[in-house]
Amino acid sequence: MAKKDSKSSRGAGLTALVSAAAGLAAGWIAYSRLAVDHQMELPPALGANRYEIESPRAGRLSYYVDVSGTGRPLVLLHAINAAASAFEMRPFFERYRGQRPVYALDLPGFGFSERSKREYTPELYTDAIIALLREVVQEPADVIALSLTGEFAARAALEAPDTINSLVLISPTGLQAEDNRSSSPATHALLSFPVWSQAFFDFLTLQPVIRYYLAKSFVGPVDDRLAGYAYRTAHQPGARYAPLAFVSGKLHTAGIRESVYEKLTQSVQVLFDQDPYTSFEALPTLLAQYDNWHAERVVPTRGLPHFEQMDLTAVAVEPFWAALETEPAPPEAQT
């Protein structure tokens, strides 16, 4: 009898635990629907003119621009995460505005760009970058891309080489020893299920959760303005669609190193140090095999060197850009 009582007690305890968890989940879903503000006021990410274009393939795209400087245009591309926006590239924008024309894009699904319920794919982001370069910038640009967006920028450089003069990739993904990343349609279907998708996203974008994940990318304290803007931009209509595609792995390009990175003809510079979200074991091989690939380590940083070490970041990128002005063009680009 004692054994049966013990089993019965464990079963009752498990049932109670499941019921409690279900109750908490139901309560959070209700709270998400009734109490969370999904239309927060969103100020501009940058103190600059903001414009929009309609791209047939990428939809409505918002970008910031300061063309008071001269010389080759600089295009800034933020990362992909739950609360991304052009604010992530603010230190670059503020440093180089007035020195050269500077553009900062809100990628599809983020900031003031279109956040509709649609298929978010690497192709969509590549198309958005090319649209900005062709329709707005209209001359070969130096591009700086952060994290996963480095893959989209590299794809754009391969597909439309006449639009990109050089690439600076900050903590780019796809340089692991083995790229075993894959997408999971089942995971995306589960996360995007209408009953709980908004509630799940609201949990991911609670202020403490945003700061927790940002803290992984800072050696020192989290930038308060970045955290504050991240919270606001994540509380907009449609804010969940692109991040849920990202979380389920739909935005990675399998084999990006072999299929794209190794085929680039533009000069590429990688800025890196420690990054909790990716690693760079394949970088030395890439540097050894391809003369157009370069790298600088910005120490100590964890994926956002321009927020904590902007001076050192500038010391890394400016000689790279200067050297491009003295290098001969690739054979296929010579006239």
pLDDT in tens, 54-83: 999 999 999 999 999 999 999 999 999 999
How would residue 17 be classed by pLDDT, with cut points 50, 70 and 90?
low
Residue 257, in any domain of the structure: yes
Residue 315, in any domain of the structure: yes
Residue 37, in any domain of the structure: no
Tokens at residue 112, please? 């003031």
> Looking at the predicted structure, is the pLDDT value of residue 331 above 50?
no
Tokens at residue 183, please? 């997408």
Residue 25, in any domain of the structure: no
> Looking at the predicted structure, is the pLDDT value of residue 333 above 60?
no
Q: Quote the CA–CA distance of 323 and 164 in Å, as a whole number.
A: 16
Closest-CA residue to 253 (of 161, 125, 145, 136): 125
Residue percentage of the chain with pLDDT more than 70: 88
Residue 9, in any domain of the structure: no
What crossing angle do the helices spanning 2-35 and 197-204 adopt, rounded to 10°? 90
Residue 153, in any domain of the structure: yes
In this structure, what are the phi and psi dihedrals at residue 76, rounded to the nearest 5 degrees?
-110, 130
What is the model's pLDDT at position 19? 56
What is the model's pLDDT at position 255? 92
Tokens at residue 10, please? 């464990």
How would residue 304 be classed by pLDDT, with cut points 50, 70 and 90?
very high
Helices (H), the chain: 2-35, 90-96, 122-131, 149-159, 185-191, 197-204, 207-215, 224-233, 241-247, 256-259, 283-289, 305-308, 310-324
CA-based angle 103:107:109, to the nearest 5? 150
> Looking at the predicted structure, is the pLDDT value of residue 328 above 60?
no
Number of domain units in the chain: 1
pLDDT per residue as tens digits for the range 185-201 = 787 777 777 877 898 89
> Looking at the predicted structure, is the pLDDT value of residue 24 above 90?
no
Q: CATH number for the domain including 98?
A: 3.40.50.1820
Q: Quote the CA–CA distance of 329 and 335 in Å, as a whole number.
A: 9
- Sign of the C-alpha dihedral, residues 313, 137, 145, 241? positive
What is the model's pLDDT at position 334? 36
Non-local CB neighbours of 5 within 8 Å, separated by 6+ positions: none
How would residue 32 be classed by pLDDT, with cut points 50, 70 and 90?
confident
Residue 266, in any domain of the structure: yes
Type of residue numbered 165: N
Average pLDDT value for residue range 113-139: 97
Structural domain of 258: 49-181+252-328
Determine how β-strand 59-66 pairs with β-strand 102-106: antiparallel
> Looking at the predicted structure, is the pLDDT value of residue 2 above 60?
no
Q: Quote the CA–CA distance of 244 and 98 in Å, as a whole number.
A: 37
Q: Which helix (H) or strand (E) holds 280?
A: none
Tokens 């989940």: give the residue. Answer: 25
> Quick check: helix, strand or coil at residue 212?
helix
pLDDT per residue as tens digits for the range 226-235 = 999 999 999 9
Residue 91, in any domain of the structure: yes
